[in-house]
A and B are shown apart, each in its own frame.
Chain A
């Protein structure tokens, strides 16, 4: 498991021609040449096919959030190349190929919930009536319809994050980049949101890249788990965890537990080295 990962990943043989995301020898150094230089990532090769649900997991400082931000073109690579839907990462950003959900909900205090969800639609020039309708659908999806006119300060942290997810999904992005989006939610809400996310993922065929600290979350959600290790951040294992169609029963499935163990061992192997 801890062998150097194949560029095409375990299911590279069935991947369509154009990868959703292709990382080729990606490295990232912060503040190069200065005393506070940090080698955040090195030698990252990863190919993610359209429709996959890939989770990045690893200890703090392994560069998993940095990797997500490189794919989002919010920061530039130092080495190697990133392509999204066959374009450069920045071209994909300009084409609004992806949407991002951050650790913090980051809602705008002065906008009510509905208007927060409409933000990306406004930037894309949607008509007001269409925006309102879509925002209502998204609120329905995250089960916050009765809070449409509330302001973020009046919502709990979990509710705020559900609004942020609704906002991210509002324009049907081809790729969803999620940076520990459920970390702030209570366990019940979290499992509910996981089920909802899987349902949306199945319906929309969206590719999802998901960063988490939680092994069970990674295993339950993903088709593949990418295990990362720190200093410098690199991929130490890629584990195929596709459990097919998932439901609440999956959480008690023996294969699910086997996968949890596999990911945990991969993470431990990492600590030993």
Chain B
């Protein structure tokens, strides 16, 4: 065996190095659980930051395979992995104050290690070239995630959220596996490339593909499979909710695009899943928007908002699995760009929700009445992020929505784009409900003025910079277009 193949996987290997380093540090130096040992220091954040920069800088354009095609790497993978890294970094920054609580001090090391393991799973999932690798990555991403969701051991909601999440995650992975076994029965291979060549439309393959899509739908929380989302998002600790809604969801959506592009685009089966996605996207965007209007808890509200955003994200799959007529990978580029912008905006909103919760314990939308009077800067940042999520022009959210609509439109899904556009207006209504609560509604007891900690400030600065600059800096999209052309 050629061991130099491991060097190609430098992203995975360096992440594994960070994990082991943190694990050993936790084991050896954190005996004094009263003070939390080394983990009240920014060590995990710094390590992950260095690793992100180290992996993003060389930006190897090479497209390579390792381990007989089990592991396939494209330039776009590097971009997505870096994006996920930044999301995880912001999650760590958000989690810092929550982890400094006395009941969590002793568990700090676990939080960092378990979170990074889910990230490692997503890495393997993104670069997989074989269903076995894909499945192991998927499970490595979702089993530790359950532990994170029920991380608050003495809070009942956290345990209930974890129970709902694991039961449905298990159910969906069983469905997915059964689908994969049917795909194996029809094509005789589990390599994406060989399935791509060997697939001929048959009823068995269609059943397999439908089950596979249902399993992935659970992970991305698209509408017929979204029932766990709101409960899990509400019960989980806020930093974990932010992680679930951006990093976990974004990686699963990108992986779905990659698998469909590699395995199910050539051959006659493309038409079938396009019809399925047509209805799934319409249902996700519309139903989630309608449910979001009637929420009174902010985390539940963000859950439904995230389902609707997942619908827009998956819009990039429509026509995104092939090169467009002008030779660019429009769908893939638009999806990655959307993910980048969504990360900045959603993480920013969660940073505000988190810091308000840590300082006052309040999560209701009504509790935010009069936030502008007491904490004007937080209210302003929240408004920026919500406007970007809704897609109002000067912010990045407008451009990301525009590109993803353009990609779907060019692929010929005009009705779908029209329905998505109408839904953007509905979403504007409910995002403005929060803005109204913060700026206009009066309150007898508004949330008291507080100073947010340094970690949250850094996170908020990163997110605000993303929301403001990603839209204006045109080279970002151009650069992604170039990378996309080399990757599909």
Chain A bound to chain B: no
Residues of chain B whose beta carbon lies under 8 Å from any beta carbon of chain A: none
